[in-house]
């Protein structure tokens, strides 16, 4: 299945979840400061493993970076 992950078309396995998208984006689901939005809606971390993605959905995985 193809999704738009952080602005780029990416192929994920059928039945992929938001948690799978985090891994595909190169982030760890254990890291603090990682957030996921699907179709503009933030997905709570507690729902990442259950939120199944659909063909063509837009997924944004962001990682907050501290600095100054």
Q: How would you write the pLDDT of the chain (68 residues) with one tens digit per residue?
A: 999 999 999 999 999 999 999 999 998 767 788 999 999 999 999 999 999 999 999 999 998 877 76
Q: How many domains does the chain have?
A: 1
Confirm whether 19 is domain-assigned. yes
Confirm whether 20 is domain-assigned. yes
Comparing CA positions, the residue from 46, 45, 3 lying closest to residue 21 is 3
Taking the C-alpha atoms of residue 5 and residue 9, their distance in angstroms, rounded to an integer, is 6
Confirm whether 68 is domain-assigned. no
Taking the C-alpha atoms of residue 26 and residue 41, their distance in angstroms, rounded to an integer, is 21
Provide the whole-model pTM. 0.89
Structural domain range at position 49:
2-63
- CATH of residue 57: 3.10.20.30
Taking the C-alpha atoms of residue 8 and residue 29, their distance in angstroms, rounded to an integer, is 20
Confirm whether 47 is domain-assigned. yes
Other C-beta atoms closer than 10 Å to the C-beta of 64 total 9
């Amino acid at each position: 299945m193809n999704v738009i992950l952080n602005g780029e078309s990416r192929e994920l396995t059928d039945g992929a979840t938001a948690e799978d998208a985090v891994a595909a984006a190169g982030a760890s689901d254990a890291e603090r400061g990682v957030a996921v939005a699907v179709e503009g809606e933030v997905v709570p971390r507690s729902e990442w493993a259950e939120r199944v993605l659909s063909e063509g959905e837009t997924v944004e995985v962001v990682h907050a970076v501290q600095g100054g």
